[in-house]
Structure formats: C-alpha cells, structure tokens
Structure 1
Amino acid sequence: MRSTINRPVRWLASASLVLVVMAAGAACSTESDSPAAGGGGGDGDEVAQKAAADLEAEFYGQGSYANPPAEGPEAQRGARIAVINSGVQSPTGTKQVEAAREVAELLGWDLTVYDGKYEPAEYQEGIRQAISQKADVIRLYSIDCPLAETALAEAKKAGIPVVSQEAADCSDVDPQAESYFADTLAFSQGTFIEWAKAMGESQATWLLAQLGEDADVIEVSVPELVVTNAIHEGFAAAMEEQCPACNVTEVKAQIADFGPALQEKIDTALLRNPNANGMALSYDDLMTTGGSAAVMASGRNDSLAVIADSGFPANVELIRNGQGQDAGFAYDMGYETWAAADMINRLLAGEQQGQSGVGIAVFDADNGLPSEGKAWSVDIDYKPVYKAMWGAS
C-alpha cells in the first residue's frame, strides 16, 4: 500500500492481500457544522480532550513500539529461505526485500526472493518454486493464505514450514478453515488483525483530537483487503466508542478504482456531505491515486482534517506541502522485517517467537514528520540488539 502507481499493492498493508471480506457499515447520524481542520473541540469538549490525551500517550512519538527481545538463539546459518513478496514495485515491497536481504546476509542464509507481481497465480508459482528448490522455510510477505491456499497445501504436504509477515492465515479469515502458517509475526497489539485494527483506532483518535464532538467524517475504506477491512473495523469501533454522536459516512472503494474513478467517488462524497470536516483513508494509495486530488479540487483543503498513512515519502510530502493530507499512521518496515527474520531464526532453532516490539505510531506536520525525502522510522536502535543476540556483525 505504499506507492503512487495505479496498480494494486500489498497488503498495506501489507500489504497483496486481496480477499473479499464483508465490512460492517459505519453508523451515520445527523450532520453538523464544519469547523476548520484542527479547530474543533473547545475547552469544554471532552471528546477532543480525551482523544488528544490518548494521542499523546499511545500514538505520537514512538507509539506502541518497544525494544526488541534481548535474548534468543544464535544465527541458524546455512538455512535456505524463500521470500514470496506480494509485489516489489511498491515502496513497502521494495523496502521489505532490501531489509530481508540485509538481515539474511548477517544470518548466513541462502535467500531467494520471488516477486508476486500482485497476482495470486504468481504467489502460487513462487511457493511451488520454493518447494522444488527444497527451501527450509517459505516466508510470505503481505500474501493472505486464501490467495495461495492450493500451493500452501502442497508446501504443508512437503513438510516445509510457511511463515507470514503482514498476512492472514486461512483460519484467521474462516475459523473453520485449515491453518497453513507455522508462525505469523506478532505485533505489540497482538495478531496481525489486531495490529491493523489499531491503525484504524489511531486514525479515529487523531481526527477526534482535531474535531471533537463536532466530527463529521468521511471514511474511505477498501473492504476487499483483509488488512484494510480490519482498519475499517478498528476505525468504526473507535469512533462509536469515543464519540457515538459523531457522524461517519463510509465510502467503499476497490483497488480497481485507483485513479480517476477513485477521485470521482471521493468528489461525490464531498459534494453529498457539504458539512464534512474530516476524512480517513485506510491506506496511502487512496491518498496518492485520487484522494489528494479530490480534496484539493473541492476547495475544502483548509476545512478538512485528513488522515491516511503510511510514513513513506510520497505521503510525507503531501503533509509537508499541505496537499490534501494532514496526518498518517506509520510503521518501520526495516524493524518489522528484522523482527520477522528473528521469528524465522527461532523457528529454525526450535524456539517460540517472542514479543517483536513492532507497533504503530501517528505523525503529522507538528509531530514526528520525517525530513524531506525520508520515510518515517522508529527511534529505536534495534539492529545492534539483534546482531548481539545472533552473534552476527
């Protein structure tokens, strides 16, 4: 979910994980007057005050990030690891592969990377090639189990463990389904789905801190993706809990809409909701392939508080330049990929995965905005900790 190209990415999420999951509709109430972005909630607005306190305590700065585990097995050298990446054309996919190669060299692994090109048929082909090459572990990045279930069943039959980074197991989607993942990267919030829900919560909290009890929000969701469906669920639940009287209008988008069709959907939503003063978009491509253009064309850039994600340069620059986005949730792909390597190393050593320390944070123009041309990154020096643990340098 991390590019400005007009094609499916990730997840995003990662991110890549296209799976139709029915999203619950967000509740609607009466429209309210529209304050300027950041201008909602006076001194007596308890909704804004609580959200601002939660934002400071839970999401600004390092957010829910924590230090990596200090103890674990030494590097299990010589392992053959196959990475099946949903697509290397997006910033997330590119960064994941770069970090995976860096850490594999340290651990002494023979790493093979397969580009899934955002096509389920390619995901399955990559898994089958890994099986034929007798990989010790297959690592999926941002590929949900249902998209590659047939090939995953073949890997299970061959006795090759499959682990996931930012992906849902078949049993995560359907409790009655079989599980095909030997392990899944855990986050500070818990599971992958719980982590994604926290992203939606972070968006609701930021908007309510700006707008308070006057919030009248358009949420642009993508129900067909597991991760963005979870973001929607987290957003809707947080809005209902923190401000049940606030107005939320959900606009459902599809990956196929990216570009002019997406801009038209958001244009229409803005026209139909003239009192809307906030907007949440569940991932970055919604902003860079239609959202920003729609906000700017509406003439309401100064009266809308807009949050998307993800801390990559394209979205950071929209915030810096005031071009339709004001904030985003962010995560550090480098840290996440090193944590996933530690998960694999523990699996090879016969040990259980520990707490990864990977979480979620929120940034905006006044809080944690990366320097020009840079992506958001956590202020935790995790590499020396892992190197010491693995006996690598």
Structure 2
Amino acid sequence: MHSKLSRRKPLAGAVAALAVVTALASCGTGVSSDANSADKTTGGGVAAQRAGEQLEALYGSGTYQEPASDGPKGQKGYDVALVIAGVQTPTGTKVAEAAQEATKVLGWGLSIYDGQYNPSEYQEGIRQAIVQDVDAIWLYSIDCPLVQTALDEAKKASIPVFSHESADCSDVDPKSESYFERTLPFAEGDFSDWGQGLGEAQAIWLLAKRGDEANIIEVSVPELVVTKAVSVGFNAKMKELCPKCEVTTVEVQTADFGPPLQEKIATALLRNPDANGLALSYDDLATAGGSAAVMKAARNDSLLVVAGTNFAPTMDLIRDDKGLDAGFVYDENYAAWAAVDMINRYFAGAENSPIGGPGLAVVDADHGLAPEGKDWTTNIDFRTAYKNNWGVS
C-alpha cells in the first residue's frame, strides 16, 4: 500500500464558508411587490403543453438508473488522491464527505486536496499525489485544460487519472490528447450530454409554467465546460419548444460569486423589466447572490426562478419562496460512490460500468422537495447495490 498524501488542506473551513455562502442568499431580501403577484401563474399555449409532457418524466427519480447488478469484488490495499476544485461550496463539501464514506467501505487510503477554486492549486494537488506515488488520482470538477501541465507529469509517472464531472482535453478540443483513464458515465451519456440535460430540464420547467409568453434571463458561466453545456442545452430546448420565446443571456464568472454576482443579476433584472423567468446555471448561483438579487429588486412575484437545488439552503429558498422556485437535482453521494466503483473496476481489470447510474431530476414547491433542513437524495439504494457488488458490508 502506498503512503497517504502528507499535505492535506483542512475541510473544517468549509463549514464556515458554507455559512457565508448561505448568508449571502438571505442578504438584501427585500419585500417583493404584491402588484405583480398575478404574474407568477402558469402559462399556456403549445409550448406549455409540450414542455409539460416532458416535465412529468423529470419529477421523482427523473433519469436516474439503478447501478449495474454485477461488478468486481472490492479491491484492497490502494491509495487514492482526490483533488477537488474547492470545498467552499456545498457541492465540494458533499463530494469530499461522500468520497470518504465510500472509500472507507473498501479500506482504501484517501487523501483530499482542496483546490480552493485556483488552477495553480489544482496542479499543486496533482503534483503532491505524484510525489506520494498514489495508485490513482481522482479529479472532481477540474477540467483538463486547466491542469494539463500537471497531468503530463502524472502520465509520465504512470499514475492513472479518473474524471468526475470534469472534461478531458480531448472533450474541449478534439485535436488534443486525452489524459483521463476513465470518466464517470451518466444516465444521459457522457459529461457534456449530462450538462446539456441539466439545461434542457431548466428550459422544460420554465416553458411548462410560462408557455408561449416565456421571456427568460439566462445566467451562464461559460468558463466551465459543464456550465457551458448547461447553456447549450437550455437554449436548444427553448428553441425547440418555443422558437419565438425571448432569451437574454448574461455571462458571469465563478470569481463573481457573492456581491459582484448579485450586482450583475440585479443589473440584468433592471435592463429586462418584462422578463418573467430567470435561469441560473446551478445552485451556487442562487445561494451566492442570485436569489438575493431577485428579492432585493422586488421581482420575486413576477419572476419564476430555476437553478439547481440539491442542498438544504436551496431547498429552503424554494420552500420559503425567497427567490427560487425550482431546479434540477443531482445526488452527489450517488455520483461519488459511482466514481469509486469506476476506479475499483479499473483496479480489478474490469470494464467501466455498462450503464450510467447518476442522472438528474427536477423538484419544485409541489414536487419532490427534501424535508426541511435536508439535502435532496435519490430513492435508489445505491449504497447497498455497490456493497453487494464489492462483497463488503
């Protein structure tokens, strides 16, 4: 067994960071105007009918699939390094916790490196893993072009790299070299297919509610491969179901999260007084300024807001009607366990899973909200399925 990484970034700070992010969502929550309350109603027309039919299939378990019913036994005696883009958001924190849970079941040594949303730190994490000669490097939410130099070094050291919600260099540019040994499959297909599915789900929900009268502000984060795919899927589905509907795209960066993001969205709302919908690429945009901007602008009653809604803070925004109404949900626990299974299959010399278990679903105030204070989770018992395959309890 290889020794664990000696340099680990502490996760304790993630709790405090999460509190800050959550607090941003409650800042500036002015009282919304009752004059526009009638605007927050269901639309009609052909677009609403077609979208409504597709929306029904996204409620409940949505596109999630059961894990494969067979697979190799759990492989013992391995050390894995998980390099996470950052644990300052609920998503990163949840992935770290789920990875610890799943690898502990297999008895693996796991080292977690917090990239702090800084590409130079991502590369440092990969290099630390190389120095310690781990058996595998697991990247979460770190696209290959950002760390290509360090990945070259990992390749020279013959350490396989596995991707979880990360795009390979060849995904971004077909002429580029591939650096990932394996990539986590999704029910939708590959990473880009899944990202487009998230955007399609947002468009379907908004059109089911707004119909032919939809006038949407889309807030996109084009610097990330997955959020760029979300935007592609969103706009394609809007054009498919309602070609005459208006979409105004506002581009932001992860560096904007917090007051700058809130200001950019507030400006977009001011410039688009007739907009009746707002699409945010994923949940962090809601908690890090988006929902607060809606409330402060007194547009909560006239706008339907959709994002991602995995975590308790965003579930509460929907439940309390504070600048968020719906969104796609994604169980990071399931995805992390599926990633561990992907790596275990490699260690065992087996092929990748023949199906993509993790997928997406949609929740709103009337469908599928998690209990108060809880994150959303799929009702598929993936833990038992993987344990049975691995031969552990």
TM-score (norm 2): 0.89
Structure 1 equivalent of residue 152 of structure 2: 153
Structure 2 equivalent of residue 24 of structure 1: none
Map of 1:67-146 to 2, 5 A cutoff?
A: 67-146=66-145
- Note the alpha carbon deviations across 1:18-49, whole angstroms, 9 max, x for none: xxxxxxxxxxxxxxx997223211xxx12101
Q: Which consecutive aligned stretches of 4+ in structure 1 deviate over 4 angstroms post-superposition?
A: 2-7
8 A contact 1:3–1:288 mirrored in 2: no
Matched, 1:196 2:201: no
Alignment identity in percent? 58
CA distance in 2, matches of 1:239, 1:129: 44
The one-letter amino acid paired with 1:379 is: N
Cα deviation for residue 112 of structure 1 reads: 1.5
CA distance in 2, matches of 1:120, 1:47: 42
- Note the alpha carbon deviations across 1:94-153, whole angstroms, 9 max, x for none: 111111111111112121211212111111111111112111111111111111111110
- Note the alpha carbon deviations across 1:219-269, whole angstroms, 9 max, x for none: 111111211111111101110111001011111112232223222222222
Structure 2 equivalent of residue 60 of structure 1: 59
CA distance in 1, matches of 2:220, 2:301: 23
8 A contact 2:21–2:287 mirrored in 1: no
Q: CA RMSD in A?
A: 1.8
- Note the alpha carbon deviations across 1:261-316, whole angstroms, 9 max, x for none: 22222222222222111110112222122211221122221121110113211111
Structure 1 equivalent of residue 27 of structure 2: none
Q: 1:34 to 1:233 in 2, by over 3 A?
A: farther
Structure 2 alignment gaps of length 5 or more: 1-16, 23-35
Matched, 1:382 2:385: no
8 A contact 2:21–2:89 mirrored in 1: no
The one-letter amino acid paired with 1:341 is: V
CA distance in 1, matches of 2:270, 2:122: 40
CA distance in 2, matches of 1:249, 1:329: 21
The one-letter amino acid paired with 2:197 is: A
Which moved further from structure 2: 175-184 or 348-357? 348-357
Structure 1 alignment gaps of length 5 or more: 8-32
Map of 1:313-392 to 2, 5 A cutoff?
A: 313-354=312-353, 355-392=355-392
Matched, 1:212 2:215: no
Cα deviation for residue 343 of structure 1 reads: 0.3
CA distance in 2, matches of 1:6, 1:372: 18
Structure 1 equivalent of residue 40 of structure 2: 37
Which moved further from structure 2: 182-191 or 289-298? 289-298
Which moved further from structure 2: 290-299 or 181-190? 290-299
CA distance in 1, matches of 2:143, 2:306: 26
Q: What secondary structure, in the 3-state scheme, does the structure 1 residue paired with 2:212 have? A: helix
CA distance in 1, matches of 2:117, 2:257: 15
Q: What secondary structure, in the 3-state scheme, does the structure 1 residue paired with 2:154 have? A: helix
The one-letter amino acid paired with 1:56 is: E
Structure 1 equivalent of residue 225 of structure 2: 226
Structure 2 equivalent of residue 287 of structure 1: 286
CA distance in 2, matches of 1:115, 1:358: 24
The one-letter amino acid paired with 2:242 is: C
The one-letter amino acid paired with 1:329 is: F
The one-letter amino acid paired with 2:340 is: A
TM-score (norm 1): 0.89
The one-letter amino acid paired with 2:389 is: M
- Note the alpha carbon deviations across 1:338-358, whole angstroms, 9 max, x for none: 000110011111111111310
8 A contact 1:34–1:277 mirrored in 2: no
Q: What secondary structure, in the 3-state scheme, does the structure 1 residue paired with 2:138 have? A: strand
Q: 1:91 to 1:376 in 2, by over 3 A?
A: same
The one-letter amino acid paired with 2:67 is: P
- Note the alpha carbon deviations across 1:174-217, whole angstroms, 9 max, x for none: 11111110001010011111101100000000000000011011
Structure 2 equivalent of residue 14 of structure 1: none
CA distance in 1, matches of 2:37, 2:299: 11
The one-letter amino acid paired with 2:309 is: S
8 A contact 1:34–1:216 mirrored in 2: no
Cα deviation for residue 379 of structure 1 reads: 0.6
The one-letter amino acid paired with 2:176 is: A
Q: 1:34 to 1:274 in 2, by over 3 A?
A: farther
Q: What secondary structure, in the 3-state scheme, does the structure 2 residue paired with 1:302 have? A: coil
Q: What secondary structure, in the 3-state scheme, does the structure 1 residue paired with 2:368 have? A: coil
Q: What secondary structure, in the 3-state scheme, does the structure 1 residue paired with 2:235 have? A: helix
Q: 1:101 to 1:359 in 2, by over 3 A?
A: same
CA distance in 2, matches of 1:225, 1:110: 30
CA distance in 2, matches of 1:90, 1:318: 16
The one-letter amino acid paired with 2:282 is: Y
Structure 2 equivalent of residue 29 of structure 1: none
